A and B are shown apart, each in its own frame.
Chain A
Amino acid sequence: NAGVTQTPKFRILKIGQSMTLQCTQDMNHNYMYWYRQDPGMGLKLIYYSVGAGITDKGEVPNGYNVSRSTTEDFPLRLELAAPSQTSVYFCASSYARVTHTGELFFGEGSRLTVL
């Protein structure tokens, strides 16, 4: 029962470096999301996707890019890392719109530090 798998779990980056956070789900969910969680703040939506080939911006997309070439995978790319991107990143998925069920399935998170 893998669910949503994120890699890496921890990473330290230098300012200006780039990296990709990987996310894959094996539940055949159409919707996938990337959130970031900062101390004392609620999770903020970075990008989301409603299906392969379709992505769109969330609340805080600046400094990030995503792609969705398959149903299973939704990588998040950080270009030119900045200290403000130090955070815990969560990938999530849902079968469809969660208007009523509210159930997002989260990965275990990726802790990123930019120094």
Chain B
Amino acid sequence: RKEVEQDPGPFNVPEGATVAFNCTYSNSASQSFFWYRQDCRKEPKLLMSVYSSGNEDGRFTAQLNRASQYISLLIRDSKLSDSATYLCVVNIGLYNNNDMRFGAGTRLTVKP
């Protein structure tokens, strides 16, 4: 089983749609959770952290379910500029409390 698993997609949605991505992780001792965004042939960039109580940043909402070892990202009112690959990232704290494990990513294309 992969440490961090994501549906690879691609998700093709029209502008204005709501889309949700899911991620599961295998290490129950994982400490912290994040979503990164990676544009085509570019470097990953932090989108948002994921907190146990759930958190929102504009059109983006992240949820964490520690019991099910499941993370989600919801994007409302999709924009063309949201087209990217979304990486689920889990800090399992194995190496010196700083061990980030990346999912393979979910590709999103938002169409006019």
Residues of A near any B CB (own CB < 8 A): 31, 35, 40-45, 48, 50, 56, 58, 90, 94, 97-104, 106-109
Contact partner of B104 among A42, A48, A58, A97, CB < 8 A? A42
Instruction: Flag whether B86 is at the interface (Cβ < 8 A).
Output: no
Instruction: Flag whether B44 is at the interface (Cβ < 8 A).
Output: yes
- Size of the B side of the interface (Cβ < 8 Å), in residues, is 29
Q: List 29 A-B contacts (CB under 8 A).
A: A31-B98, A40-B104, A41-B104, A42-B2, A43-B87, A45-B99, A45-B100, A48-B96, A50-B96, A56-B96, A58-B99, A90-B43, A98-B32, A98-B100, A99-B31, A99-B91, A99-B97, A100-B32, A102-B32, A102-B33, A102-B34, A102-B49, A104-B44, A104-B46, A106-B43, A106-B44, A108-B42, A108-B43, A109-B43
Chain A residues near B98 (CB-CB < 8 A): 31, 48, 50, 94, 97-99
Alpha-carbon separation in the docked complex, A100 to B93 (Å) = 11
